[in-house]
Structure 1
Amino acid sequence: MNFPRSKNPKTVVAIPAKDEADLIGACLCALAHQSELADDIVLLVNNATDRTAEIARSFGSTGGRLHVKEVTLSPAQANAGTARRLAMEYAADIAGSQGAILTTDADGRVPEDWVARNLGWLRSGYDAVCGMAAIDPADEALIPAHLIDDDLNETKYKALLDEIDHWIDPRIWDSWPRHTHRSGASIAVRSAVYAAVGGVPHVSQSEDREFIAKLEGRDCKIRHDNGIIVTVSGRRLGRAPGGMAETIARRIIQQDKWADDRLEAPQAALRRAQLRRAARDVWTLPSDCRSLASALRLPVSQIQAFMLSPWFGAAWAEIEAASPVLRRKPIAMASLPHAIREAAPILHLLRHSDRPIISNLEITHDDMTVLAE
């Protein structure tokens, strides 16, 4: 997105918090020991029943100016999505049109180069940056082994599919290696971009994922940086529904039937990436889209209408929603080891092929069979 950029943007950190008296001190301490300090920190304390706000106010130096906002949200609004949105709105007001907004979680401890590394990407022309979240080793040691194994399988499979995607539909601004996290534990965005997409969506949960999806819909340059890792708690009693704590608590009792909803069978992921690449080529250099329409099982006129969008990301979102070929089928948690075994040889072929496998619509049924063998 083309907006004026400042080499020294006013940097504001937004942190939503609810009943975080035990952990807010460590969160603020990490921000106070940054190699490059934020200018301001907004702590939005919502519906608290403990001393979170009091502890924060008495904390002392956090490096930047600390703004503690206490709010009481109605039952309908008392959720993670609303809290994150309000915190980032306050931060946006302070940052100004050429500033930078960073957000993390109140139970998170950011690394000492967190502000500097995020700003490095924004200063170099990126619109947003996604970091990774890692559970505190002390908490992880208390999590049952089967749950750790499930997470490792999901993580490994996500990485396999993401690298397959990279080889078929590379985005030069987010090259491999990268990651697939879209966690509120670590997101940075330029203020102008935040405003242009309308801020954080009005959703009760998964606001981090939805926000990044909005940025993708406007063709924002997003970097998924493996070098940004924020430590978060592995507690089982969370502060909001739909979060990590709820997932951990649920999976301790019984393994989820389905894996992460972004995961699908290797051949389906392969086909999705190939069709996105073909659609991107048609959108970038308008041309005959009959082959693409046929592959997507959509009318040519519908594809032509989608391609009128000024942003490829928006066009692709419309295509994904409309095409029966791209309808996601969930993958069972228990089948992840098998899916990993299927995906590995596909990735090996893509890494070592002498020709650009699957450029445009070159892939055939025979290609799919060979790749999957």
Structure 2
Amino acid sequence: MTSPAAIVAVPVRNEAERIVACLRAIDAQEGLAPGALGVVLFLNNCTDGTGEIVAGLLPSLAVPVRVLNEDFAGAHAGWARRKAMDEAAAWLGEAGGAILSTDADSRVPPNWVVRTLAAIEAGADAVAGRVELDVEEGKLLPAMLHARGRLEDIYDGLITEAEARIDPDPHDPWPCHRTTIGATLAVTRDAYLAVGGMPEIPLGEDGAFIARLIAHGKRVRHAPDVCVTISARLTGRAPGGVADTIRSRCEEPDALCDARMETFARCVRRYLWRARFRQMHATGALARDRAWSDWLGIAPEEAARIASLPLGHAIGEAEKASPRLAYRPIGPRHLPAQIRLARIGLVAIRALTGLRGRGKAAVPASVIATRAA
């Protein structure tokens, strides 16, 4: 029997209320040849009848499904996702293909697999999609949470565009985003195995996995046309997950934004530094010129180690080591002012990087920094 070309890996724990909608959505994928898609369900520590519901549903599904069951007292999100993705990699076998990840409380659109595979076929080793909250469940959340979310989405889009224009990644061009979530991740089998698989950590395994791929020089596409609906519930299955984030922001309206949401001036300075660091890394100048490490406050021994690393890994290590590049996230009350500054700054950034993109002389980083700040 021919193996599928793509496998969807789904970790499942006590999802009796949502697993049917999840599987029906995967089964309804469009634009795929018969037999091209398979599903791995990793049921762990289920006590609510999820297994019985799955067993009853399987005969009505067109897509082949492999169900694994395991009870483990030390279970956590990273462990479960890795188990599901490891099984998907084994199913694909030496023929290779793509491993897609989603969650049992999420619903993927009919074009999810096709659009994800299109990004891989265009050259990506991995694809990160966007997410949107379930509309009906979202109606139960406080209005102030939605207001804050809209401001964060606006600002995130502005700083992401600034990053993509100042420090462009040819494999992840604008338009793009910076969402990293297990509800919509994909990776080729080869890339998955090359980086050692999904990190088996209790929290943030999705972000750590993308960071691992980038550190190994893999091409990650944050595809804006790939979007999945996720639950807006306040009681989740994984500590520190989306549900905990939503609940904590309901309880603490002034909680800081995500780490990457700094002041616009600080964001621009970070992107300019990365662009310069990328250039120096490509030419070997990091090892010859230590002025960069002095400016960042990195000791000579640590700077030498960083200079010897692959680019993605080197950038991450430099940002960890430098006190000047420590993240200083803003709070929600600062968002309106920073959005205004970002909109003004982007006018200049678009103009200046547009000149560079048309093959004219590169605009000095100092000019962009001055205009954007």
Question: Do both proteins adopt the same fold according to a TM-score greater than 0.5, normalized to the shorter chain?
Answer: yes
Matched positions, count: 360
Measure, in 1, the Cα distance between the counterparts of 2:143 and 2:115: 33
Look up the match of 1:306. Answer: 306
Secondary structure at 1:58 match in 2: helix
Distance 1:291 1:235, change over 3 A: same
Matches within 5 A, 1:41-190: 41-59=39-57, 60-74=59-73, 77-97=74-94, 98-190=96-188
Measure, in 2, the Cα distance between the counterparts of 1:49 and 1:268: 48
Q: How far does the alpha carbon of each residue in 1:41-91 deviate from its partner, in whole angstroms, 9 at most, with x for none? A: 1111111111111111211243332111111121xx322222111111111
- Residue 185 of structure 1 deviates from its aligned partner by 0.9
Distance 1:361 1:296, change over 3 A: farther
> Does the 8 Å contact 1:278/1:292 carry over to 2?
no
- Residue 304 of structure 1 deviates from its aligned partner by 4.2
1:321 maps to a residue whose letter is K
TM-score by length of 1: 0.90
1:363 aligns with 2:360: no
Secondary structure at 2:178 match in 1: coil
- Residue 246 of structure 1 deviates from its aligned partner by 1.4
Look up the match of 1:324. Answer: 323
Look up the match of 1:4. Answer: none
> Does the 8 Å contact 1:118/1:188 carry over to 2?
yes
Specify every segment of 5 or more residues in structure 2 that has no aligned partner in the other structure, as ranges: none
- Greater Cα offset, 63-72 or 187-196: 63-72
1:88 maps to a residue whose letter is M
Distance 1:345 1:300, change over 3 A: farther
1:78 maps to a residue whose letter is A
Distance 1:300 1:188, change over 3 A: same
Measure, in 2, the Cα distance between the counterparts of 1:238 and 1:199: 24
1:211 maps to a residue whose letter is F
- Residue 188 of structure 1 deviates from its aligned partner by 0.7
Look up the match of 1:25. Answer: 20
Measure, in 1, the Cα distance between the counterparts of 2:219 and 2:268: 23
Measure, in 1, the Cα distance between the counterparts of 2:254 and 2:46: 31
Measure, in 2, the Cα distance between the counterparts of 1:294 and 1:244: 39
- Residue 290 of structure 1 deviates from its aligned partner by 3.8
Look up the match of 2:293. Answer: 293
Secondary structure at 2:333 match in 1: helix
Distance 1:299 1:248, change over 3 A: closer
2:258 to 247, 257, 260: 260
- Residue 164 of structure 1 deviates from its aligned partner by 0.8
> Does the 8 Å contact 1:38/1:63 carry over to 2?
no
Distance 1:41 1:256, change over 3 A: farther
- Residue 215 of structure 1 deviates from its aligned partner by 0.7
- Residue 291 of structure 1 deviates from its aligned partner by 4.1
Q: Which is richer in helix?
A: 2
Measure, in 1, the Cα distance between the counterparts of 2:255 and 2:29: 41
Look up the match of 2:217. Answer: 219
> Does the 8 Å contact 1:274/1:361 carry over to 2?
no
Measure, in 2, the Cα distance between the counterparts of 1:200 and 1:262: 23
> Does the 8 Å contact 2:38/2:65 carry over to 1?
yes
> Does the 8 Å contact 2:268/2:372 carry over to 1?
no
2:252 maps to a residue whose letter is Q
Cα root mean square deviation, aligned: 2.2
Distance 1:240 1:289, change over 3 A: same
Secondary structure at 1:96 match in 2: helix
Measure, in 2, the Cα distance between the counterparts of 1:135 and 1:265: 26
Q: Identity percentage over the alignment? A: 37
- Residue 355 of structure 1 deviates from its aligned partner by 5.2
- Greater Cα offset, 284-293 or 316-325: 284-293
